[in-house]
Structure 1
Amino acid sequence: MTGSAPRPFSRRLRAVLSWLHLWVGLSVGVVFALVAITGTVLVFHTDLLRLQHPQLAQHAAVADGRVLAGLVERWRPEGLRSLDLPHDDLPVWQGYFEDGHRAYFAPEDGALLLYRSHEDDVLMWLHDWHTHLLGGETGEEVLGVFGWIALGLIVTGLYLWWPRRGQWLAHLKMHSGPPVRRWLSWHRSSGALLFPLLLLATLTGVGMVYSKGFQAVLVGAFGGDTVKPPKLAGEGTVDWPQVLRQADGALPRARLSRVSVPKSDDGVVSLRARADGEWHPVGRSTIAIAKAGSGVLQVNDATANKLGMRMSQAIFPLHVGAVGGSVMKWATAVVGLLPMFLLVTGFLFWRRRRGRR
């Protein structure tokens, strides 16, 4: 009945959840806030990279197979495992190496323009913290646990804020004083107003840590198949100009985005492409070409996948704000600041309330 006093069990549950929300938030919330705030910076990773190194943007975005051949020959012994093709946002070859560092090469002649690693580049360091807590696979596992705890904080926060009928506007109001009321109202109202975006960012972050499990659940519930690349033995060098030409024509209305460097005894070259309608910045469509350039072996258009697989492949672009243009990009950046705001206002509320006792 509306307006009746809460039952004893409800009061006890609320007291327990309020205590847990406060102390877990003031402890684990510190890590959650620091991870989230680095996410705000990383939303603009490419923009900041171009700002830091303007020489990267001073090229025409041309993917020449002959330059690619030279890059693979020169850098594969150094651990080169894949390359992003030049495109409008970053018109250079971006190489990914087995030890985690990246290198950038001129599209005209393959000259080395920039070398980056988490040890000497701020953005790479922030990326390593955001995805692995600077601790490799162990750090990623710990991050996953923190992610589940953060989801618990978000859900309990919503429960503790949830107003009775007719009191919605009153519960969303941010008060200027007294201090205890101010910090509590700012904490609750900001969390409630941005709850959907905060939940989305946190849930997709957890989904990236446990990507295989999330994909299995989504595919099992909504359908989809995992496409495995074909296996083919093959020695010798790759005819890279021919491979790029064949891959470019294999999937109409798609942009080739990334090429994997095959091992010496692997007869297949795997490429990624972004088809029209895909959210992922690199694309999840795949093309497999015979190493010698003799033909297309497999084409997978990600936009034709069943719902479960498409939902799984949407986790990353939703997390990084790659969906919805600049509005969603900025909204994702703002939400990354919210956990720090909630941590500070929660701490100030606790300190003020303690001071009044």
Structure 2
Amino acid sequence: MKLIDLLHRWTGGIVGLLLAMLGLTGALLVHKDAWVMLPHAHDALVQDTTHLAMVTQRVMADSAVQPQALTYASQSFGLLRAAYGDGGGAYLDQNGAIVAQWQSQWERPEIWLFDLHHHLFSGDAGETVIGIVALCGLFFVISGVLLWWRTRKTFAFRLMPARMNRPAIVRHHRDLGIVIAPLLLLSLVTGAVLVFRPMAALLLGPGAPATIDASLKAPPPREAQLADTLNWAAMIRTARARFPDAELRSISLPRKDNGLITLRMRSPEEWLPNGRTTLWFAADTGALVAARDAATLPSSVKGYNLLYPLHAAKVGGLPFRIVMTLSGLALAMLGTLAVWTFWFKKPKAARAQVRRVDI
């Protein structure tokens, strides 16, 4: 138990601030659709096929300002988002008119906050670090429960430490941690599995990672360049004819020269915000190449697709968003106070002893 205590304190002192940052940014991002205050941001969702086909043709057909990807409005956010290859972007109303533009992510707080939370502004390398920090957080929760068990008879729930001295902060850390532990486990497990897909085997069975990779794999690349003129409206109509009940979520240009335009839809039974119902079109002709129905995916893949909606509180409405906000704020407090007490808030007796030695 002493070794667990030592590892818990030292690891917390080292990565506590990163966990605090993840908790705070996560709590803010849970409510992102509500605090992005722009005209038409809270307009009612329009999913009429003819209207969507017209807007998509208008936005995507202009090669001079063609976005790399276009994300459609949703039930909680009434604007379309265009993303350009140079890092710029724009919000558009549901008629395709530009509401706001930016040349860099630093001009939009919701975008750089998302990048910080998911990638530490460092792309794939930062995402890997985030996954490692999430694993450290899991160790804290498990070891913290073991350490709390020894002192369970002194449990007293407080939102804040009774006093800002080290013993009171440590007791508050221990007792608040045990209360919030189930929510922290939910946040940290889902976050870690989303970064390190092989960990899905722990939740969904030993064959799950391979099944997920195979099921979510795109069709083979095609030797096709993006045509200057394409019938984007026809792609929308084709998608709706194939999946009439699905909500249109995004359309994106070919990536890594794979010669495929990707269109994602969200079926009514899907929790994932952008869905896994996907169609691929040839970049040179606009012809349908392949389609994937999320309803036919294996159960392990469907289970994997539930992780992000749970992690980001995209289900359950406002009550679950509040619950996950509390989880994020508690993680921010626990991480910050852990670092402070470990590195700066030394016991008075220890400081006095240091002074006597110095004399």
TM-score (norm 1): 0.80
1:274: which partner in 2? Answer: 266
Give the Cα separation in 2 of the matches to 1:205 and 1:329.
16
1:85 corresponds, among 49, 72, 89, to: 72
Distance 1:321 1:73, change over 3 A: same
Give 3-state SS (helix, strand or coil) of 2:155's partner.
helix
1:258 corresponds, among 236, 242, 250, to: 250
Give the Cα separation in 2 of the matches to 1:114 and 1:353.
50
Distance 1:168 1:219, change over 3 A: closer
Distance 1:111 1:253, change over 3 A: closer
1:96: which partner in 2? Answer: 83
2:188: which partner in 1? Answer: 202
Give the Cα separation in 1 of the matches to 2:175 and 2:45.
48
Cα distance, 1:101 vs structure 2:
3.5
Give the Cα separation in 1 of the matches to 2:184 and 2:305.
20
Give 3-state SS (helix, strand or coil) of 1:258's partner.
strand
Give 3-state SS (helix, strand or coil) of 1:257's partner.
strand
Distance 1:60 1:169, change over 3 A: same
Identity of aligned residues (%): 25
1:153 corresponds, among 140, 150, 156, to: 140
Cα distance, 1:354 vs structure 2:
1.6
1:71: which partner in 2? Answer: 59
Cα distance, 1:219 vs structure 2:
7.0
8 A Cα contact 1:250 1:287, kept in partner: no
Cα distance, 1:345 vs structure 2:
4.5
1:238: which partner in 2? Answer: 230
Give the Cα separation in 2 of the matches to 1:214 and 1:262.
29
Aligned length: 335
2:100: which partner in 1? Answer: 114
8 A Cα contact 2:157 2:176, kept in partner: no
Cα distance, 1:214 vs structure 2:
3.9
Give the Cα separation in 2 of the matches to 1:101 and 1:172.
50
Task: Name the aligned partner's letter for residue 253 of structure 2.
Answer: V
Q: Which runs of 5+ in 1 are unaligned?
A: 1-13
1:171 corresponds, among 155, 159, 179, to: 155
Give 3-state SS (helix, strand or coil) of 1:281's partner.
coil
Task: Name the aligned partner's letter for residue 70 of structure 1.
Answer: R
Give 3-state SS (helix, strand or coil) of 1:119's partner.
helix
1:20: which partner in 2? Answer: 7
Cα distance, 1:192 vs structure 2:
0.9
Distance 1:283 1:32, change over 3 A: same
1:9: which partner in 2? Answer: none
Distance 1:215 1:251, change over 3 A: farther
8 A Cα contact 1:95 1:104, kept in partner: yes
Distance 1:187 1:200, change over 3 A: same
Give the Cα separation in 2 of the matches to 1:308 and 1:344.
37
Give the Cα separation in 1 of the matches to 2:84 and 2:201.
29
1:61 corresponds, among 39, 42, 46, to: 46
Cα distance, 1:85 vs structure 2:
2.1
Distance 1:106 1:176, change over 3 A: closer
Give the Cα separation in 2 of the matches to 1:214 and 1:173.
33
8 A Cα contact 1:205 1:319, kept in partner: yes
8 A Cα contact 2:265 2:277, kept in partner: yes
The answer to whether 1:128 aligns with 2:115 is yes
Cα distance, 1:266 vs structure 2:
7.2
Deviates more, 1:322-331 or 1:140-149: 140-149
Question: Which whole-Å deviations, capped at 9, do the CAs of 1:204-247 have from their partners, x for residues lacking one?
Answer: 22222224x34577475355542444455667432222221121
8 A Cα contact 1:275 1:285, kept in partner: yes
The answer to whether 1:188 aligns with 2:174 is yes
Task: Name the aligned partner's letter for residue 171 of structure 1.
Answer: F
Cα distance, 1:275 vs structure 2:
0.8
